[in-house]
Structure 1
Amino acid sequence: MNGIKALKNQAVFLASLLTVGSTVSIASTANAVTLKVTVENLTPENGGVVTPVWFGFHDGSFDSFNIGESASSGIETIAEDAITGLEATVPGLLESLIELGLDPNNVPPQSSLIAGLFADSAAAQNGGVQGIVVDLDSPLGLFPGDVVSTKIKLDEDLASNSFFSYGAMYIPSNDAFIANDNPIAIFDADGKFTGADFIVLGDQVWDAGTEVNDESPLNVPFTLAEVGNGIDENGVVLPHPGFLPAGSGGILDFGDGLFANADFTTPGFQVARITIEKVPEPATITGLLLLGGLSILRRRVGRSR
């Protein structure tokens, strides 16, 4: 598969991933703000799985992909194999993936993964940060109904952290993914934090155009053993046409209907909900508690009169 280059050994893989770890958070400052990114899998029972979600906060200059153009190596690896490059930044995650069958030798170099591309971008050099939404109890991703959150601290600087990008694989598939081609603003024109709360619909699932949609068990990563497999397509990013019809031996028939309801082309199909919230600072929480305590005290004093 083009773009899939074996690493020399697991040690090199671990070291290369750890080099990007420093971009996940930055030092606390007087203007630091903590955000909570939450992802919920909205697919029905026996629906699809949303793999661990990569995200970045930046100045708006980072371009994940463009519709009608070739996918970057970072999007290719997310869409085909769900690898972001931040796996080693979450304690225990990489080890869990290896135990589940991931062969580090089938993973591309760090520089070609989405985390590496972001770390080398102008957006990161200008103060952008990145992270991953994942549950260690479910390292393969979010199954139907799962809700997972992560917190990240960043500098409340509109010039460097005012936009949000994300990306994840939709499995099982050859190269289906969800992501935003245009960064999402999380501050308004006046500099006020607005966050984000949106639903990713089925018609917003993308086809990376990097792997033929043969839906073969040998190429679709039903397990981590298939990572790195597939037939090159050499196409461009387009809306995904959907899976092969049920009864044709494709994804919808896999495992006696394990993913029978994963057809995202169904009208009104919802894939995921993503929210970004500001976490109250300790001083704010203390103030709210104090105000609450004073309110209770006033009520009690009033009753005693």
Structure 2
Amino acid sequence: MSTDYQQAREALGARLRELRYSCPDEGRLTGQGLAQRLGWPGSKVSKLENGKQTATPEDLRAWADATGQPDAYSELASRLTGFESHIRSWRRALANGFKPVHESLSKEIDRSAEIWVWEEAVIAGLAQTPEYARHVIRRYSELLGPASDIEDAVRARMKRQEWLYQPGRKLRVLMWEAALRSLICPPSVLIAQLDRLSGLIGMDTVELGIIPFTASVKIVPANGFWILDGRLIVAEDWHAELWLDDTDNIALYTRVWRTLQESAVYGADAQNVINAARRALRDHR
């Protein structure tokens, strides 16, 4: 977990403790006393106050009311929004299924004119076929918890691709060769996906670069991310999706993308890498 995120969570916990100490009807309300009022385990109060657990908006509303200071809720909610806008826990984001998560990112994509993407081990979402997307989403569902809306999520991801066919858009995507060969799906599905990828080469809205296994690289080809219009970074980790909009991080991720680009091949050379991956898959079958 990032240091900035943890510090913000601890600061929120300290503010919650202040409210408990200043409870107008009892003065310094004990943690156990507050837990009893709320019907919570005593450990939950401790974890929230010490930054060991992230509060929900409902937790904050209940805390403000139980400490007799309901007007403090708006301040608490603002603090929570401030740090959760940067790190969005998969566990909490997926509580309502995959489709809302896809739609949230789609809104940002829709208002973007230029997107830079780096993917090290999976085909970029804006280039995925429905069947490939289905397998990717299903794998995440198996890891993070069963979801009943996989088909809705696939449709949302496919609808997002309409962005590619709108005038004035530009997708600049870099992928490591591993993305062309990772069998997250059956070989037949990946072959169809590679055909789709080949079809994107030459589109005026798409610039596709591939880093071959044989290329020299200046940094480790890891950690997929998106840069939207140079205003927002969206990066995925196992526990959360990071949304970063500060100048320093935007500059860092842009530098990473440009450094990776130095090792990429384009056009006919990229097509040759795709063809080699396709041939290997046919031999695999």
TM-score, scaled relative to structure 2: 0.29
**Greater per-residue helix proportion:** 2
Q: Per chain length, whose mean CA-contact separation is higher, i.e. which structure has more relative contact order (CA < 8 Å, sep 6+)?
A: 1
**Greater per-residue strand proportion:** 1
Larger Rg: 2
TM-score, scaled relative to structure 1: 0.28
